[in-house]
């Protein structure tokens, strides 16, 4: 299915501000659908004088009319005239009589989507049409809550037609945990006095210690009464509970956390009150705190592992200096580099929240450990890195860093041996499915088919083939030098790394 941006762009809407406005409105489609007890569809005009649906939201408070998503569909003939009139005349158009949709009686309202407040005497800028499709097949005597919800929906539809909703001054915040109309709704007047509170909203405030009725009470005074003394609170709280700004905040009392979202209501620019949505997010906040604690613990573990590995590397380095055997000294030096390469990965993991690392940064630090130390006294080794490894999870980063440490070390120590200078190039090519790494040097090369049998080669094979499920190949380049090709499948990596 095409995204909203793709659909509107394909049908002639290229203004970034228009697209952002439609995205904001579609983001509040669930609120409008729940308040109106109806399906909400957003339409944009096409070049052939028709309309196409670019967003569709079903109500959680009533039965939907559209069991199949209509996003990407052209407008049906029975709605075209009504939608065209709303778009052309910039006014709300209601169906004159019940409309029948798949043998179900419905009522349709077409609301022009105006971007920005229209100045007096200026022609409004209509960028689309929003339609409300109400199912009349389940009509029953509406409750007071349903009447209030519908009134709130009508106010918001009027603001959409006047260019006052959505409000671009509202900060963008995560949708997770955002209050919804069924979670709890409070309507306040222009003075901040509660005129309606849904049962769920009243229950949320009761759990925080307010035992009376909310209706008729100033919401500011209620919140002041239940907030613990001497506790700091969000500076945005006063403007939220008075409904003066379209912001979100949390209040906490008696171990209960309630998220509040204010939506100011206006009539042709005049503030007439506000909707305050509320939701008990206590359990969600506890889970978030547990995750924060877990992340901090994991980072601390990586930090301590890095410190311990650096200590081990230092001990190996000291031992190498005190060793008289050249063979033992070389083995200890190799072990020092291997331990240090693993420490670099843990050091990077200790600095971030995610268990994924920017491997380009990791490998840059690993190269510093290898190239200068591994080179012979009379050899000047240069390293060159091209391409990008991207972000990798720790279970990939550690074995890959260790394997590349071995390969670069071998290239410098053996490939460039007995040469005054030489170059080692590491090229990374990554796609969504694979990571290919080539390590090539300008050294003496090796006979085709004759790969070293030392410990370093065994380590590389074990890491690439065993732990990463990849392949590795050694071969001599035309002229001189050796090239090692590593191919690692990335099918098990989540795409958000």
Structural domain ending residue among the three candidates 280, 311, 326:
280
Q: Report the CATH number that the domain containing residue 340 is assigned in CATH.
A: 3.30.565.10
Output the pLDDT for position 230: 65
Q: Do the Cβ atoms of 129 and 147 come closer than 8 Å?
A: no
One domain for residues 456 and 430: yes
One domain for residues 48 and 186: no
Place of tokens 């849904």: 198
One domain for residues 239 and 123: no
Output the pLDDT for position 497: 43
Q: How many domains does the chain have?
A: 3
Residue 453 placed within a domain: yes
One domain for residues 49 and 144: yes
One domain for residues 194 and 129: no
Q: How far apart are CA 440 and CA 390, in angstroms?
A: 20
One domain for residues 225 and 361: no
Residue 174 placed within a domain: no
Output the pLDDT for position 176: 66
Q: Give Cα separations from 315 to 104, 311, 320, 332, 398 (angstroms).
A: 80, 6, 9, 10, 21
Output the pLDDT for position 1: 47
One domain for residues 193 and 46: no
One domain for residues 148 and 207: no
Structural domain ending residue among the three candidates 218, 250, 280:
280
Residue 494 placed within a domain: no
Output the pLDDT for position 264: 96
pTM over 0.85: no
One domain for residues 114 and 231: no
One domain for residues 190 and 86: no
Q: Report the CATH number that the domain containing residue 218 is assigned in CATH.
A: 3.30.450.20
One domain for residues 123 and 265: no
Residue 88 placed within a domain: yes
Residue 175 placed within a domain: no
Tell which residue, 109, 100, 61, has the closest CA to residue 82. 109
Residue 290 placed within a domain: yes
Residue 10 belongs to what domain range?
4-162
Structural domain ending residue among the three candidates 98, 132, 162:
162
pLDDT in 10s for each residue of the chain, 497 residues: 468 888 888 877 778 889 999 999 999 999 999 999 999 999 999 988 899 999 999 998 788 888 888 999 999 999 999 999 999 999 999 988 777 777 788 899 999 999 975 555 566 789 999 999 998 877 678 899 999 999 999 999 999 999 999 988 887 766 666 899 999 999 999 999 999 999 999 999 999 999 999 999 999 999 989 988 766 667 788 889 999 999 999 999 888 999 999 999 999 889 999 999 999 998 888 887 777 777 777 777 777 887 887 888 788 878 888 888 888 887 887 788 778 777 777 777 676 656 678 888 888 877 776 655 555 555 667 788 888 988 888 788 888 888 888 888 877 777 676 666 778 888 999 988 889 999 888 877 765 555 666 777 888 888 888 888 889 888 877 657 788 898 998 876 654 44
At 459, list the tokens: 């380590």
At 464, list the tokens: 């690439």
Output the pLDDT for position 496: 44
One domain for residues 329 and 474: yes
Q: How far apart are CA 424 and CA 385, in angstroms?
A: 9
Residue 170 placed within a domain: no
Residue 370 placed within a domain: yes
């Amino acid at each position: 299915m095409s995204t909203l941006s793709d659909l509107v762009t394909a049908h002639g809407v290229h203004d970034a501000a228009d697209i952002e406005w439609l995205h904001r409105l579609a983001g509040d489609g669930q609120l409008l659908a729940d308040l109106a007890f109806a399906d909400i569809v957003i339409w944009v005009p096409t070049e052939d004088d028709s309309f196409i649906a670019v967003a569709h939201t079903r109500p959680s408070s009533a039965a939907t009319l559209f069991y199949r998503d209509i996003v990407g569909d052209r407008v049906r003939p029975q709605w075209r005239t009504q939608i065209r009139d709303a778009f052309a005349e910039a006014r709300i158009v209601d169906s004159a009589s019940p409309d029948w949709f798949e043998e179900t009686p419905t009522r349709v309202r077409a609301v022009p989507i105006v971007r920005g407040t229209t100045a007096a005497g200026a022609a409004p800028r209509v960028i689309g049409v929003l339609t409300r499709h109400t199912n009349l097949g389940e009509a029953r005597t509406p409750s007071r809550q349903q009447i209030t919800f519908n009134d709130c929906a009508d106010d918001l539809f009027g603001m959409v037609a006047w260019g006052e909703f959505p409000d671009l001054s509202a900060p963008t915040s995560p949708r997770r945990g955002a209050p919804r109309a069924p979670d709890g709704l409070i309507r306040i007047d222009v003075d901040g006095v509660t005129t309606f509170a849904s049962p769920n909203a009243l229950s949320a405030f009761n759990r925080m210690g307010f035992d009376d009725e909310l209706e008729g009470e100033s919401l500011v005074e209620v919140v002041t009464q239940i907030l613990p003394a001497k506790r700091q609170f969000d500076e945005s709280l006063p403007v939220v509970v008075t409904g003066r700004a379209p912001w979100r905040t949390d209040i906490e009392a008696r171990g209960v956390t309630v998220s509040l979202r204010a939506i100011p209501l206006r009539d042709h620019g005049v503030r007439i009150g506000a909707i305050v949505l509320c939701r008990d997010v206590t359990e969600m906040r506890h889970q978030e705190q547990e995750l924060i604690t877990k992340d901090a613990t994991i980072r601390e573990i990586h930090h301590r592992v890095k410190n311990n590995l650096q200590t081990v590397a230092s001990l190996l380095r000291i031992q190498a200096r005190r060793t008289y055997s050249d063979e033992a000294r070389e083995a200890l030096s190799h072990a020092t580099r291997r331990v240090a390469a693993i420490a670099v990965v843990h050091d990077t993991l200790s600095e971030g929240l995610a268990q994924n690392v920017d491997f380009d940064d990791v490998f840059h630090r690993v190269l510093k450990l290898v190239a200068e130390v591994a080179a012979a006294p009379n050899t000047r080794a240069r390293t060159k890195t091209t391409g990008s490894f991207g972000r990798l999870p720790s279970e990939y980063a550690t074995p890959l860093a260790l394997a590349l440490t071995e390969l670069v070390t071998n290239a410098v120590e053996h490939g460039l041996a007995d040469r005054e200078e030489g170059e080692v190039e590491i090229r990374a090519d990554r796609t969504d499915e694979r990571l290919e790494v080539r390590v090539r040097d300008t050294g003496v090369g090796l006979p085709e088919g004759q790969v070293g049998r030392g410990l370093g080669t065994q380590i590389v094979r074990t890491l690439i083939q065993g732990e990463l499920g990849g392949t590795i190949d050694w071969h001599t380049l035309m002229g001189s030098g050796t090239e090692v090709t590593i191919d690692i499948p990335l099918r098990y990596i989540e795409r958000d790394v």
